[in-house]
Amino acid sequence: MDESKLREQICTFAASMFNRGLTHGSTGNISVRVNDDAILVTPSGSSFGKLDPNEIVKVTKEGSLIGSSVPTKELPLHKAFYETRGLKSGAVVHLHSTHSVALSMLPGINVDSVLPSYTPYSIMLLGKVKLLPFFVPGDPAMGEAIKGLAGKRSAVLLANHGPVVSGKNLEASVNAIEELESTAKLALILRGMGAIELNQDQINSVVNKFNIDWD
């Protein structure tokens, strides 16, 4: 897909998520890898509800900025996924979606796999989702924390902040982060009710059939 279409695609998916309440105000950011290993990234302070394709910033492989806007302060977070996941990472989406953020603040959740295994789809689209500690927004340490996962996770949940998902392209990343938010909502609805999760044999059958990274 050429660069102009990628810019339009970013705006289309962003508006869809904004209009459905998956993020709000000027929260969230998106990046997409382009053919020359540069990335397109949403500007700092921009709203998903009214992105302009021409204001999306291009960041070259060498780190130069092309465009009149300033990229999101979460750029190191995005770069860390591209650096550690290679060709598996074609886009990164970060939201402040309500149910995911709420789940990140609850006591007693599994830090290594924060989402309950309620459906096969969360396993298929996300693998295990790691809960990372709180960082001040824009802190480069977030990127270092992603690098510390050595490319083994495609999705993380930042405590008191929100989810970040990297997929093979923008559509896959959006689908995955929406699945993360939906599963977090299920987890909150069912909390304390003794809901029946998939057992280990069922999880293994999904992991094996769809060749999911599940470590």
Res 64: pLDDT: 84
Does the pTM surpass 0.75? The reply is yes
How far, in Å, CA of 111 to CA of 115, rounded?
9
Q: For residue 204, give the H/E element and its range.
A: helix 200-210
**pLDDT tens readout for residues 144-174:** 999 999 999 999 999 999 999 999 999 999 9
Res 73: pLDDT: 94
- The low-confidence residues of the chain, meaning pLDDT below 70, are none
CA angle 29, 30, 33 (to 5 degrees): 150
Q: List residues bridging with 57 in a β-sheet.
A: 41
**pLDDT tens readout for residues 116-152:** 999 999 999 999 999 999 999 989 999 999 999 999 9
Domains identified in the chain and CATH numbers: 3-210 (3.40.225.10)
Give catalytic residue positions.
Answer: 74, 121
Res 82: pLDDT: 95
Res 72: pLDDT: 93
Res 1: pLDDT: 77
The rounded percent of the chain whose pLDDT value lies above 90 is 87
